[in-house]
Amino acid sequence: MSSIRSIPKDKLPDALKSIIRGVVANNPEALSVLVQLARDGKKEWWKLTTDYRLLKSLKELGLIVTKNNTEYELFDHNLVRSVLEELGYIKYKPGPEEPTFPISVDDLNQIVGYDDVKRIIVMALRSRKPVHILLVGPPGIGKSLFLDSIRKALKKKNACVEHVEAVKGLSTSVGIAELLLSMDPEIPCALLIDEIDKLSQEDLALLLRLMETGEIIVTKHGKRISEERKVWVIAATNDERKLLAPMLDRFLIFRFRGLTKDEYRRLVPSILTVNEGIDLDLARYIADRLADITTDIREAVRIARLARTKEEVDFLVRQIAQSRKGFLSP
């Protein structure tokens, strides 16, 4: 990609949109650098990113400039910021009379039932100060669906939302710290964490301080960084016993039990028609066939994505039932 210095000034705004999209597609961390500079003006390189090659690339492209190789800034602060806003990369910021997050119960129509829980989640997200929520319950009851529905609703409103799937071994304290530091301190952000109990102890300690004080403290390149963030944490876990009491004390906790067969038969058809777009008759058939062997909502979603006919549903259900009894044979 050639330098933007060769682009005529009158064509630069439109060209920048294409350039920034391409840069972000190739390296998502580039967006964090551009947004931080749009937010803060000048910033030391070690506060922006640990990837010095990324800074070099953005500098060669002409998007950022530096006079001393220590502090960086955008080549044209107002122009780049306006393009980032137009592209939706700089998020919704509530006014004095506006809710913190522009969300309503109707925006969570992916979730079938649990109307009281949805109402309280919306109240928490619209509150002026953070209220953190923890969803607890066995696998397959729809906790992840709650988080995904919130993510989609906030994304549509161009609100700041980050979704972390805390699969053990993939989340590190550096990663969580970088994610939090990349957030605009003036813009509230919802942090959605699936399987929070699988975060490392370092991550949990970082989150606990954030939830208690709104402060992030990390060490980068031997230097201590302390910054504040406005973050609402909504998390899910299968087992709250794996979380320490001080962490649990920071959450408003909702505990879900497993679904009965009748509840499964009632809820699954609505979930599959709303979220997977399949025919209601086929959705009911999937729910009815599965209810005798499982009440895992994710199993129904998988079959809905694979099967186009009742015959295919029967075939898949037979395979699931057989695999639950033991290993499949040739």
pLDDT in tens, 71-120: 999 999 989 988 888 887 888 888 888 899 999 999 998 888 899 999 99
**Helices 12-26 and 29-40 sit at what angle, rounded to 10 degrees?**
130
Q: Are residues 285 and 174 in the same domain?
A: no
In a domain, 93, yes or no: no
In a domain, 208, yes or no: yes
> Per DSSP, which regions of the chain are E strands?
43-44, 64-66, 71-74, 132-136, 160-165, 189-194, 215-220, 223-228, 231-237, 251-255
Q: Are residues 138 and 247 in the same domain?
A: yes
**What confidence tens digit (pLDDT) does each residue in 129-182 have?**
999 999 999 998 889 989 999 999 999 888 999 998 865 444 444 468 888 888
Domain count, the chain: 3
Does this model's pTM top 0.85? My answer is no
Q: Are residues 109 and 251 in the same domain?
A: yes
Domain span at residue 63?
4-86
Tokens of 253: 């906790």
Pairing of strands 231-237, 189-194: parallel
- Nearest residue to 264 (alpha-carbon basis) of 299, 228, 306: 299
